Structure 1
């Protein structure tokens, strides 16, 4: 009798596991996304195939025995998707929560799931890009560049190691928390105004960091000289820029790049413009 009861309890536990996303399922989703987020990346759907592959263990668990529902799920999550890869995992968590409720019989339509995904893509991409690409990554790069310039082979490994140590645990926590809180928790973050404060702070800090990097690593000098009278030569770089307007030319080049970006010039166009300016300067003997 005891064995029968234990067997029934085990069977009941398995049935419950099939109706919810477990810790093991979240780990699979996390690993799939980290390593295959841009698998089959294309201009039509961007990260959609990577997103679908990431959550496929859960979809297989929920709908694997029903070909019709499985087909609908695959179609549902092959819609256009693109966001920041680490903070964007909040979308995966919310989606898993919605899929779980749908599997349990809640009237959650395809439109609801896709609309929530679409609505969160932009804000989370902005938050993630500001914190990761605009703030933390430049700071870590700035710390590792001096080691690399000295010929230290540990620099690239240290760079990747620090970034992984920061963002991998953080992304796993974001996925778990967003799943547990569901869409209400994520939406509460936006309603509270916390996102605006964080975005403003990171934008300021990111601008300061990029400004410091530009001042440290952008170099531009002129070889132009002006002859006054007989034997009197003024070296513009040495006598003017180095003495009166220190680092004026690197600042001017940086501001020109920013201005071109604001005018919607592409990176390729900006590179061609700078290449043309430098070439003309060399031919004229002023650079």
Structure 2
């Protein structure tokens, strides 16, 4: 928060810089805070503009933006723009609650990711791969080129448009929906959508070629005939139980890999 009388405003050049810096947003990844480094990197110029004359405020700003962060990169600029508007408000106000910045990120990045993943990974990438692969199988060099164009043109357009939209909505959007009670409904609706995406992933088949020898029947077909995808649900529940027991996620992932390799070698998976 700045005590200066000169109001600090975000310019179009600042938003363009956010756009360009968002492109390598997911180039750095860690298991503890995931994409926080890319998030902070994208915001560094804005934070220096707002708090460059106050090292303590700059340090606080960098600290809150190095918290856990993970959002689909293709629509990340919407949240970037929204957060930039909040930081602008904080830089020009003595009574702005900076905790609301972290709360906004935490509340929106998961639900926005569900939407972004569905659009870009679940739809656009599938279409791009279908077009690209069909041409590549025919020996046409346009296959990989069209794949990259079909996927990345909407990607760049979305980033460019959403950074301005997020900033223009800004704090006024949050205050308006909060007063109307729409924020709770928004979070509830987007959370449901996110859970639906996760539920769809749980429904993916686990191939178990193990057969009941006497009847010559595939065991997984018998199980699915009684309760479809029961094995998937049980496996998902087991992983969830491990996470609740605070088992390190890295060990869980390694265990899944080892289980898959051994299961494949012995013919069970």
Q: TM-score range by the shorter chain?
A: 0.5 to 0.7
Aligned to 1:231: none
Aligned-pair distance for 1:273?
6.8
Aligned to 1:285: none
Aligned to 2:134: 146
* 1:24 and 2:13 matched: yes
Aligned to 1:72: 60
Aligned-pair distance for 1:280?
8.1
Q: Distance in 2 between matches of 1:66 and 1:114?
A: 20
More moved, 22-31 vs 126-135: 126-135
* 1:49 and 2:49 matched: no
Q: How many residues align?
A: 233
Aligned to 2:88: 100
Aligned-pair distance for 1:41?
2.0
Note closer, same or farther for the CA distance 1:130–1:258 as it changes in structure 2 (3 Å cut).
farther
Unaligned stretches of 5+ residues in structure 2: 206-220, 240-252
Note closer, same or farther for the CA distance 1:28–1:45 as it changes in structure 2 (3 Å cut).
same
Unaligned stretches of 5+ residues in structure 1: 1-14, 215-247, 282-287
Aligned residue for 1:161, secondary structure, equals helix
Pair member with larger Rg: 1
Aligned-pair distance for 1:39?
4.3
Aligned to 2:116: 128
TM-score (ref. length: structure 2) = 0.68
Aligned-pair distance for 1:264?
6.3
TM-score (ref. length: structure 1) = 0.64
**Superposition RMSD in Å:** 4.3
- The Cα offsets for residues 173-230 of structure 1, whole Å up to 9 and x where unpaired, read as 1111011111453684866769949x86xx79xx8xxx9xx9xxxxxxxxxxxxxxxx
Aligned residue for 1:65, secondary structure, equals coil
- Does the CA-based 8 Å contact 2:131-2:143 persist in structure 1? no
Aligned-pair distance for 1:155?
1.4
Note closer, same or farther for the CA distance 1:193–1:58 as it changes in structure 2 (3 Å cut).
closer
Note closer, same or farther for the CA distance 1:280–1:62 as it changes in structure 2 (3 Å cut).
closer
Note closer, same or farther for the CA distance 1:120–1:268 as it changes in structure 2 (3 Å cut).
same
Q: Distance in 1 between matches of 2:79 and 2:187?
A: 18
Instruction: Identify the match of residue 137 of structure 1 among 125, 135, 139.
Output: 125
* 1:109 and 2:97 matched: yes
Q: Distance in 2 between matches of 1:156 and 1:195?
A: 39
Aligned-pair distance for 1:28?
0.4
Note closer, same or farther for the CA distance 1:141–1:269 as it changes in structure 2 (3 Å cut).
farther
Aligned residue for 1:157, secondary structure, equals helix
Aligned to 1:181: 169
